Amino acid sequence: MTVTAATAPTSKTFKKLQAGLRSRVGKAIHDYNMIQAGDKIMVCLSGGKDSYTLLDLLLSLQRNAPVEFELFAVNLDQKQPGFPTHILPEYLTQLGVPFRIVEQDTYSVVKRVIPEGKTMCGLCSRLRRGALYRVAAEEGVTKIALGHHRDDIVETFFLNLFHGGGMKAMPPKLLTDDHRHIVIRPLAYCVEKEIARYARQRQFPIIPCQLCGSQDNLQRVQIKQMLAQWERDSPGRGDAIFRGLQHVIPSHLADREQFDFGGLEALRAIAQSQAASEASEALPWEL
CATH number of the domain where residue 45 is located: 3.40.50.620
The alpha helices in 140-263, defined as continuous H runs, are: 150-159, 192-202, 219-233, 237-246
Per-residue pLDDT, 77: 81
With CA atoms as reference, report the closest residue to 196 among 28, 21, 22.
21
Q: Which residues contact 224 (CB under 8 A, 6 or more apart)?
A: 151, 155
Per-residue pLDDT, 10: 81
- If asked whether residues 176 and 274 sit together in one domain, one would say no
Per-residue pLDDT, 216: 47
Per-residue pLDDT, 115: 62
Per-residue pLDDT, 131: 85
- If asked whether residues 183 and 273 sit together in one domain, one would say no
How many domains is the chain partitioned into structurally? 2
Does residue 2 form part of some domain? no
- If asked whether residues 179 and 154 sit together in one domain, one would say yes
- If asked whether residues 202 and 275 sit together in one domain, one would say no
- If asked whether residues 78 and 209 sit together in one domain, one would say yes
Query: How far apart (Å, rounded) are the C-alpha atoms in residues 42 and 97?
Result: 11
Length of the chain in terms of residues written: 287
Query: How far apart (Å, rounded) are the C-alpha atoms in residues 49 and 104?
Result: 22
Does residue 285 form part of some domain? no
* Prediction pTM value: 0.87
- If asked whether residues 203 and 259 sit together in one domain, one would say no
Does residue 78 form part of some domain? yes
Query: How far apart (Å, rounded) are the C-alpha atoms in residues 51 and 146?
Result: 7
Rounded average pLDDT per 10-residue block, the chain, 287 residues: 69 95 98 97 95 97 94 86 87 95 72 61 70 92 97 95 93 95 98 97 87 60 94 95 96 95 96 88 61
Q: Residue 21, Cα to own-chain centre: how many angstroms?
A: 14
Per-residue pLDDT, 74: 96
Does residue 286 form part of some domain? no
Per-residue pLDDT, 219: 84
For residue 259, give its domain range. Answer: 252-279
Does residue 160 form part of some domain? yes
- If asked whether residues 235 and 263 sit together in one domain, one would say no
- If asked whether residues 102 and 84 sit together in one domain, one would say yes
- If asked whether residues 53 and 107 sit together in one domain, one would say yes
- If asked whether residues 171 and 232 sit together in one domain, one would say yes
Q: Which residues contact 41 (CB under 8 A, 6 or more apart)?
A: 35, 58, 69, 70, 71, 72, 141, 142, 143, 144, 145, 184
Note whether 64 and 224 are within 8 A (CB).
Answer: no
- If asked whether residues 261 and 120 sit together in one domain, one would say no
